Amino acid sequence: MNKFGAVLFVKDVARMRAFYEAVAGLSVTEAGPTWARLGTGAFELVVHGIPPHIAATFETSSPPERREEAAIKLVFPVADIAIARATAARLGGELNPPDREWQLGSERICDGVDPEGNVFQVRAETP
């Protein structure tokens, strides 16, 4: 079945796979030594390892330095932003603090950063 999706090039496939499994609630559908397919419903995220000779040319920091000038931001629905925030922090990423969340229609929205600095967004339905 064809799905909407994205490919995210990463330095540490195992770490990023675990991060998006836990924070975004994605499940691994297939994996190899240098990539993993994660999905839910009609969406698929492929985390794909950057070739070692390129990965060796840059470092990731802790906390991660945000790559806010990227042309794309991944968006994931979550049940609870506070739980996603705690999970992200436990796994080396972070979500912005609650005072930087905003409301859009029936959704509460918050940006965050994964362990490698990629900016993403979570959205939770509000009553």
pLDDT score at 97: 98
- In-domain check, residue 18: yes
- In-domain check, residue 59: no
- In-domain check, residue 58: no
Say which CATH number the domain at 21 has: 3.10.180.10
Give the model's confidence band at 5: pLDDT under 50 very low, under 70 low, under 90 confident, else very high: very high
pLDDT score at 49: 95
Alpha-helical (H) ranges within the chain are 13-24, 52-55, 81-90
Domains: count for the chain: 1
pLDDT tens digit sequence for 62-83: 888 888 888 789 999 999 999 9
Domain range for 34 is 4-51+64-125
Give the model's confidence band at 29: pLDDT under 50 very low, under 70 low, under 90 confident, else very high: very high
- In-domain check, residue 95: yes
- In-domain check, residue 56: no
Contacts of 48 (CB under 8 A, 6+ apart): 7, 8, 9, 10, 13, 34, 35
Q: Cα 80 to chain center, whole Å?
A: 15
pTM score: 0.87
- In-domain check, residue 38: yes
Q: Which long-range contacts (CB under 8 A, 24 or more apart) does 106-111 make?
A: 108/81, 110/81, 110/84, 110/85, 111/73
Give the model's confidence band at 96: pLDDT under 50 very low, under 70 low, under 90 confident, else very high: very high
- In-domain check, residue 57: no
**Residue 1 in this model has a pLDDT that exceeds 60:** no
pLDDT score at 39: 94
- In-domain check, residue 8: yes
**What is the Cα–Cα distance from 85 to 36, expressed in whole angstroms?**
23
- What are the start-end ranges of the E strands in 69-113? 74-77, 94-95, 102-104, 107-113
pLDDT score at 24: 95
Residue range 44-60: mean pLDDT, rounded: 90
Scanning the structure block, which residue is given the tokens 């969406």?
43
